[in-house]
Amino acid sequence: MSVRADSLLDLPCFLKITMRSIQFREALREALQEEMRRDETVFLMGEEVAVYDGAYKVSQGMLAEFGEKRVIDTPIAELGFAGIGVGAAMNGLRPIIEFMTFNFSLVAIDQVINSAAKMMSMSGGQFTVPIVFRGPTGSAGMLSSQHSQSFDNWYANTPGLKVIVPSNPYDAKGLLKSAIRDNDPVIFMESEQMYGEKGEVPEEEYLIEIGKADVKREGTDVTLVSFGKIIKTCFTAAEELEKEGISCEIIDLRTIRPIDYPAILESVKKTNRLVIVEEAWPLGSIATEVTFMVQKLAFDYLDAPILRVTAADVPLPYAPTLIEAALPNAAKVVKAVKAVMYRD
């Protein structure tokens, strides 16, 4: 039986949901395996996904189960295998293209944006491109400027794409399964630093609807909006602020194209204050877009200017001290929350 994740708590009492703690990479692997067993048109292609069992071991054991025609190692040629994936999707298959990091997707961005994202529009609806481009995004420690970038907002700026950035194993599995079944091209962005993290995931099959945010923590004084691994930073800050009597509500967008504006607005109308936390650079960020929409649609509910906490407007350095200074952290979020509370 397949169920929507948001309805798990409403299932009849005779249906027992069995939860277990698994790693983020294992949740992704289960999603891939379940969808490949379900649909023979689904296949995985990318660098080191087969013989090496995946650069991050997401595809461990999948070559042995599905064979070399459905788990395919590629040369270091992102533009080439992204283009093969787009062509395969146009001809009835459902490719999953793994980038070893989205930093390398820039080599393939012409195929992603000028082919996958635009094909349905350019063909007048004659071609759909049911393809998933997935892999890690953002910083992952001392990897410096060319391996630490967050391109989430770049792809979210592209009509024709859906962009998903999960923050935990439960969401990752349910959203990846939905992405693979979707008839539109989907960008599915993970975090290298999260692959080993554990979380509760049902043994039963479930799906999570694309485009629905999730209130991860109820609160009354200020709304924190974020997505991806930075959600953990919001929780750390919220726990620190709770000691000072400030109650934070945390909204995990999960999908940044489309954005669930109603969920954000509902929370802001309750708390009257908003801080947005994002790992990307500030100019043209998701934080900027959310700020515009909230001031447009809920201006009269705001008791303070909206603040955002983003990465510094510089290429990410290599030194750990400079990385800490450049990226969002709990101390910066605490400072921003106190500012909108007029308690700084």
| Domain closes at, from 182, 207, 232 | 207
* Predicted confidence (pLDDT) at residue 9 exceeds the cutoff of 50: no
Given the residues 48, 147, 197, 205, the one annotated as active site: 147
CATH code of 79's domain: 3.40.50.970
d(CA 221, CA 34): 41
Total domains in the fold of the chain: 2
pLDDT category at 268 given cuts 50, 70, 90 is: very high
Residue 7, pLDDT score: 45
* Same-domain check for residues 81 and 229: no
* Same-domain check for residues 325 and 200: no
* Same-domain check for residues 188 and 276: no
* Predicted confidence (pLDDT) at residue 1 exceeds the cutoff of 90: no
* Same-domain check for residues 124 and 225: no
Condensed to tens digits (0 to 9), the pLDDT of residues 109-123 reads 999 999 999 999 999
| Domain closes at, from 183, 207, 231 | 207
Q: Is 192 a catalytic residue?
A: no
* Same-domain check for residues 57 and 147: yes
d(CA 159, CA 134): 18
Q: Is 209 a catalytic residue?
A: no
d(CA 144, CA 75): 24
Given the residues 30, 35, 78, 190, the one annotated as active site: 78
* Same-domain check for residues 266 and 336: yes
Condensed to tens digits (0 to 9), the pLDDT of residues 276-335 reads 999 999 999 999 999 999 999 999 999 999 999 999 999 998 999 999 999 999 999 999
Residue 148, pLDDT score: 86
* Same-domain check for residues 162 and 224: no
Cα atoms found within 13 Å of the Cα of residue 328, Cβ hemisphere only: 31
Residue 144 three-state SS: coil
Supply the DSSP symbol for 111.
I
* Same-domain check for residues 20 and 116: yes
pTM (predicted TM-score)? 0.94
Please give the residue range of the domain that contains residue 13: 3-207
CATH code of 284's domain: 3.40.50.920
* Same-domain check for residues 39 and 180: yes
pLDDT category at 2 given cuts 50, 70, 90 is: very low
* Same-domain check for residues 198 and 251: no
* Same-domain check for residues 154 and 15: yes
| Domain closes at, from 177, 207, 237 | 207
* Same-domain check for residues 65 and 169: yes
